[in-house]
Structure 1
Amino acid sequence: MIVLVFSASDKGGTGRSVTSCNMAYWLSMTGLKVAYLDFDFGSPTAGGTFEISRIDTGIGDGIGLHSYLLGDSGFPARVSVRSETDRVELSQSRHPSGRLVLFPGDHSGSEFTTLDEPMVRRCTALFATCEQEFDVTFVDLSAGRSIALALALSATRSAQLAETVSRWLIFHRWTRQHIVAGHSLVYDEHGVLGTGVEWGHDREQLRNSIRYVRTAVPELNDAMGLRPAQAAWLQRQHDTLNRAAIRNEMGSTVVLGRTPVEPMLQCREQVILDIDVSARIANPETVDAFRHLATRLMNRAVWERLE
């Protein structure tokens, strides 16, 4: 099964990119060939998350995704994460069959303001190439209702990608504001569904290709260090947020999974390895969450049609 995975969020700071990078890493560790396309054109920082310092804010020389989509280069640069990363443990952590390849954005790129047919054709060709070469392709989109979002929706309606499985992940933090924003990104007039219909998608098929990822969710079963009043208040808020999620059509039946609050990621967005857990720097629950998300992403049953 070949899969295109689009990572989207209405707000910045949702953990969209770092969670997607970690999911891509863990899928490569199962032996899959994984591509990661940095479509966050205004802030291409996937290189930094994979700890490749030479492209930590995008690649130079006009060979990134931004230049390719504009027609300024014949094909975008690709970087083997394990060959190029500065982190020894990441370079040595590999599956014999797995691959992880980053397509970085341009260092001097910016958000697109217009979308034209040549750009759609180049994007379609890129997705088709990735489909032929990789098992899973992550496309990390700019936050909000961006040209990157419209570009992805337009390209996936092409006949060239008619048989491709596309899945949409909507990332949001576990707060009322982010729940409302996540609903808005999907259901507002110019959201995922509205824009998708404009480009020829079937609304219900597209809706059934969407799942939500809740990030930075506090663990309520671990009240260590909390006063009783704080623990009780958090439980009430959690219950309120669950009701809000249901009202906003983001209840448990459409949730792919969640990630806990992780102190390590508060200071540095990176791939978390087993060695980080062994060193007691990262929490095991966080790695378990990334693995769980990656497993469910590839589980057909999770994506069965919703009634």
Structure 2
Amino acid sequence: MIVFAASGKGGVGQSVTSCNLAYRLSLHGISTAYVDFDLGSPSAGAVFEIGSVDSGAETGNGLHSYLLGHDSIHRRVDVRASTHRKALHSRRSRGAALVLLPGDEGCGEAVSANDRQVVRRCRELLLDLDSTFKVVIVDLSAGRSVAMQIALEATRPLDMPDNEVYWLVYHRWTRQHLMSAKRVVHGPKGLLARAVELGYGLDDLLARIRFVRTAVPCVTGEHAAGGGPQAAWLLKQHDVLRSLAAEYRLGDSVSLGEVPVDRLLQWREQIVLDADVGAGIANWATVVAFDNLARRLVDRATWVPV
């Protein structure tokens, strides 16, 4: 199962949510590879707290160099064995494999979707990972990026007809981010339009796209933000956003789930451990949200056409 992580704009929590999703998958016994394909600023190493690749691998030793043909073997990092975070490192024998393929630090701009070698090597790498791991998460650059173009070309049905390829599109729970997510998927130069040009079936691809809402405030119950007029206003805005999401074809029926606002993640992008909840620095709702995303991702019922 190959899963591309995309978004309409940066700053939506795409990488930190995807890293936490990968961690939760591994806890469920699902071997997972995380491919950091953010061309401009690979950051998965920082989220996993692996100092040697916290802003990507040294130039010539990462994903982008591999795609350009500079290296025949791509670097793979065992997350639990390599992390500097003691609480995560101590769990290196727990769960299934979790491996990071880091991008190059600061050299992604050289990669082009027009380079047939890049597309071919990307396809070969994904096929190899797909045969080795149960889930392969590919974290793309934000927006209608070169990385997205390469992903579409590398996995087009003509070349990978039998592989399960899916898309997660992340957006914050605001009007502007809903508009951005709509453009990147349904816009005239968006994901769907480009995919159809490459021979994808529109209905089939639509069934393979789900949306993830991030930083969603609690508007009801004891944890609701504010009170009185503010709480009433937030509830009204929440209803407005739900209607807008449905209008933009980003509604509940095509949503994988949502992640609530958590002050821990607002201050520090990291893997949220159960121990963080026990220490009182993270919310249990956040752990539950990541866990639910992991369960739904690998549930075939999630991908039934709607």
- TM-score bin, normalised by smaller chain: over 0.9
User: Shift in Å at residue 114 of structure 1?
Assistant: 4.5
Structure 1 partner of 2:233: 233
Structure 1 partner of 2:108: 110
CA-to-aligned-CA distance 1:115-151 (integer Å, 9 cap, x gap): 2211110000000110111000000000000110011
| Mapped partners of 2:66, 2:197: distance in 1 | 25
Structure 1 partner of 2:60: 62
Structure 2 partner of 1:167: 166
User: Shift in Å at residue 34 of structure 1?
Assistant: 0.4
Aligned pairs for 1:193-208 (under 5 A) are 193-208=192-207
Structure 2 partner of 1:243: 243
> For 2:34, what is the secondary structure of its paired residue?
strand
Query: Structure 2: which amino acid aligns with 1:80?
Result: D
For structure 1, the 5+ residue unaligned runs are none
> For 1:272, what is the secondary structure of its paired residue?
coil
CA-to-aligned-CA distance 1:181-208 (integer Å, 9 cap, x gap): 1011101122110111122111111111
Query: Structure 2: which amino acid aligns with 1:283?
Result: N
For structure 2, the 5+ residue unaligned runs are none
CA contact (8 A) 1:29 1:94 kept: no
Structure 2 partner of 1:124: 123
Query: Structure 1: which amino acid aligns with 2:73?
Result: F
Structure 1 residues 95 and 240, CA gap change in structure 2 (3 angstroms): farther
User: Shift in Å at residue 158 of structure 1?
Assistant: 5.6
Structure 2 partner of 1:153: 152
Query: Structure 2: which amino acid aligns with 1:141?
Result: L
Query: Structure 2: which amino acid aligns with 1:70?
Result: L
Structure 1 partner of 2:253: 253
Query: Structure 2: which amino acid aligns with 1:288?
Result: V
Q: Which ranges of 4 or more aligned residues in structure 1 deviate by more than 6 Å?
A: none
| Mapped partners of 2:292, 2:234: distance in 1 | 25
Structure 1 partner of 2:15: 17
| Mapped partners of 2:19, 2:200: distance in 1 | 27
Taking only the aligned residue pairs, the percentage that are identical comes to 47
| Mapped partners of 1:122, 1:225: distance in 2 | 48
> For 2:46, what is the secondary structure of its paired residue?
helix
Provide the aligned C-alpha RMSD in A.
Answer: 1.4
User: Shift in Å at residue 227 of structure 1?
Assistant: 3.3
Query: Structure 2: which amino acid aligns with 1:7?
Result: A
Q: Which moved more, 1:123-132 or 1:215-224?
A: 215-224
> For 1:26, what is the secondary structure of its paired residue?
helix
Structure 1 partner of 2:279: 279
Question: Are residue 76 (structure 1) and residue 74 (structure 2) matched?
Answer: yes
